[in-house]
A and B are shown apart, each in its own frame.
Chain A
Amino acid sequence: MDIQIRNIHKGFGSFPALAGVDLDIASGELIALLGPSGSGKTTLLRTIAGLEFPDTGQILFGGEDTVALPVQQRRVGFVFQHYALFRHMTILENVAFGLRVRPRHERPSDKDIKRKAAELLDLVQLGGLEARYPTQLSGGQRQRVALARALAIEPRVLLLDEPFGALDAKVRKDLRRWLRELHDKTGYTTIFVTHDQEEALELADRVVVMSRGRIEQVGSTDEVYENPATPFVFDFLGNTNILPGEVREHHIYVNGGPQPIADTAGHEPGPIDIYVRPIDLRIADAGVPSFDVDVLSTQRTGPVVRCEARAVTSGAVIEIELPHLHHDVPALKAGARVPLRLSNFSVFARGKPISRQALPDVVANAPAEYRERARAG
């Protein structure tokens, strides 16, 4: 079922949790709502479910406005982060719950209910465990019961709130792949919330990046990663170096750099920030547009080499990341001065701070791990 979300506003007290959200979701799509905590992603999901009510706006399921419908009548399959399984029921009865509570004239016979619940448990690969209670299952199994329970009501849309948030890394990876397969098999329109960019990029057809109650960008996983619309999206999807620069006579310069590093794609002249990922920095061959850095330190962590360097002219500290067998690695010795080129980058007008946390410049230009700490704290 296709879903249209039209200009949703929702406030908690004076705090605007959703500030004008518009989103179109095609039938059968798998969509990730991605954002940091407090970005409104869970509120949006709960609003679609009918567990929260918007102050203004419309939510259309296949063209039908559902805002006035209570959650019971929306027929949404909602999977909670902590599963919310009924602990006094066997998992078969958990899955059967949505069928058992139907009004008598719509309710299938007891035999049909049991058969359908068992089928769903087979679908989530828990056949044979029907008589177990939720406490006798592992976290990943509980999550699959919760999913089967949500599927039992043949939902118009499947909504998952941080579905893998409470699981350990290995189980999370397996479940992710399994959920993708299940989605392709069943074809339910699915929306899931996550704060993990890797999860969103791996699992979803399209990613909705949110910040402060607004949608920053909607796009396929490649689009949001390769062409981030805002500094926030760029920064949220991976590690980020920010180089101060400027646009002059249709060319982009790194601050203090004598030669342009690229032509502009229609940027206004003036100060800019160049956003580049640590993996998109390479040592430049002679004659290629480049800027010089002094290598501060180099460290290998497992398969990658991380190098910290300071731009000679602007003083910005940047991080470079390379596979440890890359031919650039030997040149990156502490104390060396090397020319760098940008194999891929984004340019944003200066003065638009990353809206995630509005990091002060000092922090934004600090070494990556310090920046991470500043964000976490």
Chain B
Amino acid sequence: MNRPVDHTLQDPPKLPFEPLIQKNAVITEARWVRVSLTAAALIFLLGFLLMPLIAVFVEALRNGIGAYFEAIVEDDAMAAIRLTLTVSLIAVPLNLVFGVIAAWAITKHSFRFKQLLITLIDLPFSVSPVVSGLIYVLIFGAQGWAGPWMSEHEFKVLFAVPGIVLATTFVTFPFIARELIPLMQAQGTDDEQAALSLGANGWQVFWRVTLPNIRWGLLYGVLLCNARAMGEFGAVSVVSGHIRGLTNTMPLHVEILYNEYNFSAAFAVASLLAMLALLTLGLKSLLEWRHGNELAATRRH
């Protein structure tokens, strides 16, 4: 019934001092073990994460800062940037709305096949992005189910913006719902019941109680969802058709430039994506630092 709320979660007690690390504590390993394990972890991080990141920027600036900006303001590159932003601007709000609805339905109500719905939400995480893209080819392609009807009405999904939006929305759907479900489960329904007993209608309860309670978790989910929506390659690659200036998103544009041995231009566009990643990471850390208690306890990303 009423789940006891752990108020320590909301205002965690602060230790008056940093806990001391005891020299002979049972959990402490010998010095050489600690040093070598730490070193191994650092080398791995440097080699596999930091080096490539630096390499992106080094390669991007290899031909000078002028060439860097030229590669970015070039028509096809600008078209790719515009397309990527457009797709995110459609896919992220869609997932915002449906993610909130799904999480709300799952956590505040009980109904049959609830577990099935939770599993379905995870489907895009478990399916290869290429398969996600192929689904749309099978449905909307010339030989697909809806293909003949679509060509009759001159409405293009595949190899056009609608297909890219669909594929991106599909792949990024779980991010927001998955972030909200544990958070809303932990919060329970007492607040909503209190609001109802005070005379609020369903709409008021949602806008004034439910949504403010999940706002930071929601922002966190939107951030991750957006990062993935802009960076998605596999599914988009299958449905886009790689038409320069029309259906090329930034990741696809990077690949084309790279395949044309136009390395510095490829890395210049890639550096934009890398900066987006850094920005997302920074905002994500800021959110965790400021509102960690209000985010879901289990973080999987």
Contact = CB atoms under 8 A, between A and B. Distances in A.
The finding on whether chains A and B are genuine partners in a shared complex, rather than unrelated, reads yes
A51 B197 contact: yes
Nearest to A73: B199
B107 to A, nearest CB: 16
Interface stretch (B25-33, B82-90, B205-213, B266-274): B205-213
Nearest to B4: A82
Interface residues of A, number: 34
B204 A84 contact: no
A101 B213 contact: no
Interface stretch (B66-74, B121-129, B132-140, B186-194): B186-194
B73 to A, nearest CB: 44
A97 B197 contact: no
B197 A71 contact: yes
Interface in A79-103: 80-82, 84-88, 97-98, 101-102
Contacts, number: 77
A243 B2 CA distance: 39
B195 A97 contact: yes
B213 A72 contact: no
B1 interface: yes
B190 A82 contact: yes
Given A86-B209, A87-B213, A135-B11, A51 B193 contact: yes
Contact of A88 (B7, B193, B213): B213
Given A88-B212, A135-B10, A101 B2 contact: no
Nearest to B193: A51
Judged by DSSP, the binding face of B is helix
Most buried by B among A78, A84, A85, A153: A84
A227 B208 CA distance: 50
Given A78-B194, A86-B191, A102 B199 contact: yes
Nearest to A152: B198
B5 interface: yes
A102 B198 CA distance: 9
B201 interface: yes
A71 B195 CA distance: 10
Given A82-B2, A135-B10, A98 B191 contact: no
Nearest to B10: A135
Given A87-B213, A135-B11, A161-B2, A101 B195 contact: yes
Nearest to B199: A72
Nearest to B187: A87
A149 B198 CA distance: 8
B197 A78 contact: yes
Interface in A137-171: 139, 146, 149-150, 152-153, 161, 166
Contacts of A102: 199
A76 interface: yes
B200 A97 contact: yes
B196 interface: yes
Interface string A59-84: 00000000000111111111011101
Interface in B1-49: 1-2, 4-5, 7, 10-11
A42 interface: yes
A207 interface: no
Contacts of A80: 2, 190, 193-194
Interface of B: 1-2, 4-5, 7, 10-11, 190-191, 193-201, 204, 208-209, 212-213, 215
Interface of A: 42, 49-51, 70-78, 80-82, 84-88, 97-98, 101-102, 135, 139, 146, 149-150, 152-153, 161, 166
Given A80-B190, A81-B2, A139-B7, 13 more contacts: A50-B197, A71-B197, A82-B5, A84-B191, A86-B195, A87-B10, A97-B195, A97-B198, A97-B208, A101-B198, A146-B194, A153-B198, A153-B199
29 contacts: A42-B1, A42-B2, A49-B197, A50-B197, A70-B196, A71-B196, A71-B197, A74-B197, A76-B197, A77-B197, A78-B193, A78-B194, A78-B197, A81-B2, A84-B191, A86-B195, A86-B209, A86-B213, A88-B212, A88-B215, A97-B208, A98-B198, A101-B195, A101-B201, A102-B199, A135-B11, A139-B7, A149-B194, A149-B198
Closest CB pairs A-B (n = 6): A98-B198, A84-B190, A84-B194, A101-B200, A78-B197, A88-B212
